[in-house]
Structure 1
Amino acid sequence: MHFTRPRDLVVAAVAGFAVVYLLFLLAYGDLPRLPLFAGVTFAVLAVAEGILAFSIRARIKSGRVSGAVGIARSVALAKASSLAGAFLGAGWLAAFGYVFPRRDELIAAVFDSRAAVVGVVSSALLVAAGLWLEHCCRTPPEKPGQQTG
């Protein structure tokens, strides 16, 4: 597995934007109102991953890494989180882009705009936390003269 590349995030974001914008374009009138705090789940995950990142970083710096499997799982979690955050963040952005111009004519668009802002911010936090966790899981470069085990 390789670390997340910017192009991976861009592809996920473009796909998320296209899917959600097309969905809103075709079926916005039939969709239920977006829950205001639907995106907050990503903010909670971002906080948890941030805490995990600082814990792993401290363990790696102090040399107290007990198992590579846990670090590998954290890298997989980080990669999945950053990609999901990019996909759904762009989806929330597409929803905002669709409903914001219509807020004067549709009452539901006002509430959906607020929900979309919460979703975009929470998704951006998840992408940042996922990338930070992935960065913290990297093995530090060996110092000259250090013995390998």
Structure 2
Amino acid sequence: MTPVRRRDLVVLAGGLAVAAWLLVRAWYGELPALDWWLPVSLAVLALVEALGARTLRARLAAQRTARAGRAPRAGERAARLVEPLLVARVAVLAQASAYVGAVFAGVWGGVLAHVGPLAGRVQDARSDTVTAVIGVVCSLALVAAALWLESVCRIPPEEQEPSEGVSA
């Protein structure tokens, strides 16, 4: 499994921003009001993934310490095993979340590109601008949390050379 390329996320977000801007520009008067709480679910996902990354990083570090034969530090508990299949599933979730965050960042960015300049002249555009800013921030937070979670799931490089008799 290869890591998510940041370039792919940027291209995806940029392309969808242009598409969303064109669509909103064409049908802005017919769209329903954009409430501020619409992008909050992205923030909740970002928070859950950030907490998951923090927890998983600590558990994997404790497990590596236990495998190295070192005693846990003062205040640390014994390492709880982390199933490799769980780490693989979490990595897939992180990659999917990074793409979802990029999609929504592009969509909210396109909305913001249209309603931002109208905020001074159109009453509804002011509240839609606030919603779009919240959407962009929440989407980028989801991308950041997902990329962090993905990096936690990576296997660290081997610290020692392969033993003799083993060819790579």
Q: Same fold (TM over 0.5)?
A: yes
Bigger Rg, structure 1 or 2 = 2
Q: Percent identity?
A: 39
Query: What is residue 118 of structure 2 aligned with on the other side?
Result: 102
Structural mapping, 1:1-149, within 5 Å: 1-63=1-63, 64-144=80-160
Q: Find the aligned partners of 1:66 and 1:126 in 2 and give their Cα distance.
A: 24
- Worse overlay, 60-69 or 74-83: 60-69
**Matched length:** 147
Q: Where is the helix percentage greater, Structure 1 or Structure 2? A: 1
Amino acid at match of 2:153: C
Q: Is the 8 A contact 2:109 2:136 kept in 1?
A: yes
- 1:92-129 deviations in Å (ceiling 9; x for gaps): 11111100111222111011000001101111110100
Deviation at 1:17, TM superposition (A): 0.5
Gaps of 5+ in 1: none
SS in 2 for 1:2: coil
Deviation at 1:72, TM superposition (A): 1.0
Q: Is the 8 A contact 2:105 2:136 kept in 1?
A: yes
- Worse overlay, 57-66 or 82-91: 57-66
Q: Is the 8 A contact 2:105 2:139 kept in 1?
A: yes
Q: CA RMSD in A?
A: 1.6
Q: Is the 8 A contact 1:15 1:87 kept in 2?
A: no
- 1:58-96 deviations in Å (ceiling 9; x for gaps): 122122543221111111111111111111112111111
Structure 1 stretches of 4+ moved >2 Å: none
Q: Find the aligned partners of 1:61 and 1:142 in 2 and give their Cα distance.
A: 15
Q: 1:65 to 1:20 in 2, by over 3 A?
A: farther
TM-score when normalising by structure 2:
0.81
Q: Find the aligned partners of 1:65 and 1:97 in 2 and give their Cα distance.
A: 47
Deviation at 1:145, TM superposition (A): 6.0
Q: Is the 8 A contact 2:60 2:82 kept in 1?
A: no
Q: Find the aligned partners of 1:65 and 1:21 in 2 and give their Cα distance.
A: 48
Amino acid at match of 2:31: L
